[in-house]
Amino acid sequence: MSDLTSSHYNPPMSLPQVAIIGRPNVGKSSLLNRFAGRRVSIVDAVPGVTRDRVSVIAELDPPQEYKDGEPRWVELTDTGGWGVYTTDEQRIDDAGCDLASLTEDIEGQIGEAMQRASVILFVVDARDGVVPLDQTVVDLIRKRQLQDRVILVANKVDDESWEAHAMETASLGIGVPACVSASSGYGVRQLLEQVWDRVDQVEVPADPEMQVAIVGCRNAGKSMLINTIAGEERCIVSEIAGTTRDAVDVRFEMAGRTFIAIDTAGLRRRKSFSGDVEYYAYHRMLQAVRRSDVVLFLIDATRKVSHVDRKLAQELQRQFKPTVLVLNKWDLVPEGTDPNEFAEYLTRELRGLDYAPIVLVSAEDDEGIEDVVSMAFNLREQAAHRETTGKLNAVIESILKQRGPSSRLGTQAKLLYVSQIAVDPPTIAMVVNDPRLFEGRYERYLMNRLREELPYSEVPIRLLFSKRTRKSLQDLKTRQ
């Protein structure tokens, strides 16, 4: 089995869907990660870590007896634990979130995943045996008349000695369990073959044109933006800060173009992190930024720019990521607020992102969403553009002629060679007589002029300066 990409699909372009359900802490997230061959869902002993539907597209190999069988593509979906908290039980997670109030939303996501699935993997803990909450899940399956889609999976069966214990779960009345261990891989191959046998063959899904990471402070409206684009509730939206934990990928098609949007956990000061889960969620956000082509930086227009916003802006600059500043909740700002003055305020507060375009939106009212997506594709094209060496030489020579860097010693700056050596970000290598002349203020001036003259007006540019040597250009490529 090979992993193509972690993503969700809208119904018109659906692959066969496989939902992984069960009560908390039976190993659902570990099983998804085992299927994917990488960490897709956060795994932690704390109940309620997984809340949204977290999915991965995977290729299933045919059973060994099918010599001429073709691989089959499916979308595997991890769900939250059923019955994480009862309504009369106030449970506070490590970030101070009252999860009892989220139970209905989490279970709604589970129900939606089940209803859409061609195959439902109902995971139970073979070592714990059958518990009342397992029976509650079975009752739900029967109520929805979905038992014909279910494969009972007894997890934590590390070897044959545990299979007798696992068989006790057959008392649930929905079939003989598949005995597996998500941690060691025992029995997983046989389980995947069962899934292969139950799903239809479909075409290999096309690669997305763009991956967009959606980042920002808590409650900036990231999940609401995802849901608005999707036209349905793909991510839980709550007034409770810290609802999203995993980096949740959702695949879209808009105006004939395909892209993946990655909803990430909301940020707060790192010193306020209250547990491992929040730490993992933070690093999932950083990974989402690294694998993205463009970043949508959501800013709550009703609040002042925070310390966290400024730190995030610095991280995006450090990674040279094309960024759209998305001013969300613009419909809630005081009447008469001047967008131009607000843009100047952002330029002052988020230093170094003055080139990033700003789009005013209301995710809740579906205002400005198409503009955001169009702008993201525009930035993607800018960042992937490769300029000719002749054009670069002409432009930079012209800039140096108009205003070259000054030197207290009277040394005149000379450009010996220039070439674009990479895209994403556009990386321009310059061989000069003295790199020190181009450092600091002049580098910033040169960067701004290049944005005016080249098709990189709204994306970060990486400039590399080197003194002439025989291997100078190769050295620059190595440094990249």
Please, which contacts does 433-441 make with residues 24 or more away whose CB atoms are closer than 8 Å?
433/467, 433/468, 434/407, 434/467, 435/465, 435/466, 435/467, 437/405, 437/407, 437/411, 437/413, 438/405, 438/413, 438/463, 438/465, 439/465
Q: Which pLDDT score is estimated for 378? A: 96
Answer for the pair 413, 404: CB distance below 8 angstroms, yes or no.
Answer: yes
Candidate from 14-28, 213-227, 341-355 with smallest mean pLDDT? 213-227
- pLDDT (tens digit per residue) in 126-151: 998 999 989 988 988 898 899 999 99
Answer for the pair 272, 303: CB distance below 8 angstroms, yes or no.
Answer: no
Average pLDDT of the chain to the nearest whole number: 79
Candidate from 110-119, 155-164, 178-187, 270-279 with smallest mean pLDDT? 270-279
Q: What is the longest distance spanned by two Cα atoms in the chain? A: 89
Q: Which CATH number fits domain 214-383: 3.40.50.720, 3.40.50.300, 2.40.128.110, 3.40.640.10?
A: 3.40.50.300
- pLDDT (tens digit per residue) in 417-434: 899 999 999 999 999 988
Q: How far apart are CA 286 and CA 423, in angstroms?
A: 21
Q: Which pLDDT score is estimated for 9? A: 33
Q: Which pLDDT score is estimated for 431? A: 92
Return the higher-pLDDT residue of 85 and 233: 233
- pLDDT (tens digit per residue) in 433-457: 889 889 888 999 999 999 999 999 9
Looking at the chain, the domain(s) classified CATH 3.40.50.300 span: 2-198, 214-383
pTM beyond cutoff 0.85: no
Q: Which pLDDT score is estimated for 87? A: 41
Of 51-60, 63-72, 90-99, the range with the highest mean pLDDT is 63-72
Candidate from 68-77, 106-115, 212-221, 333-342 with smallest mean pLDDT? 106-115
- pLDDT (tens digit per residue) in 333-387: 888 889 999 999 999 999 899 999 999 988 677 788 889 999 999 999 999 999 9
Q: How far apart are CA 447 and CA 195, in angstroms?
A: 54
Give the fold, CATH level 3, of 2-198: Rossmann fold (3.40.50)
Q: Which pLDDT score is estimated for 278? A: 58
Q: Which pLDDT score is estimated for 39? A: 57
- Residue 104 pLDDT exceeds 90: no
Looking at the chain, the domain(s) classified CATH 3.30.300.20 span: 389-479
Give the fold, CATH level 3, of 389-479: GMP Synthetase; Chain A, domain 3 (3.30.300)
- Residue 1 pLDDT exceeds 50: no
Beta bridge partners of 429: 419, 464
Sign of CA dihedral 171, 172, 175, 178: negative
Q: Convert 430-448 into a string of H (helix), E (strand) and C (coil).
A: EEECCHHHHCCHHHHHHHH
How buried is residue 359: exposed, middle or buried, by Cβ count under 10 Å (0-12/13-18/19+)?
Answer: buried
